[in-house]
């Protein structure tokens, strides 16, 4: 089987859905395989993951930290839709380290250079 390149899109809120956990586990599996992950793009309520003012209880997963650690170890980007972030009060001032803001145009360019798009 050929090695494929992937982009993951996360649209669900980290507070009320299993989708963020599933996206993380899928990304981790890709990183442990021979396939490559180019980017995780957060849009709609998915951008809420990257607000550095989120308070995470000690018995809950800190997904922002988990995604950052994985992205650093495997060299892929964590990008938020700038419009969705702005609408939800996220800016460079309160953005978690390791995440960046960009538009759908740049996301489209990355998408055109990958084999598969997976959405959560």
Q: Residues with catalytic annotation?
A: 81
What DSSP string describes 55-109? ---TTS--HHHHHHHHHHHHT-EEEEEHHHHHHTT--GGGBPTTEEEE-HHHHHH
| Nearest to 49, CA basis, from 94, 110, 83, 116 | 94
């Amino acid at each position: 089987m050929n090695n494929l390149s992937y982009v993951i899109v996360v649209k669900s809120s980290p507070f009320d859905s299993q989708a963020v956990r599933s996206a993380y586990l899928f990304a981790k599996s890709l990183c442990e395989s021979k396939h490559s992950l180019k980017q995780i793009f957060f849009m709609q309520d998915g951008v809420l993951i990257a607000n550095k003012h989120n308070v995470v209880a000690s018995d809950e997963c800190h997904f922002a930290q988990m995604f950052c650690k994985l992205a650093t170890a495997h060299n892929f980007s964590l990008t938020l839709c700038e419009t969705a972030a702005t609408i939800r009060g996220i800016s460079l001032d309160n953005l978690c380290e390791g995440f960046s803001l960009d538009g759908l145009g740049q996301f489209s360019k990355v998408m055109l250079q990958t084999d598969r798009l997976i959405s959560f």
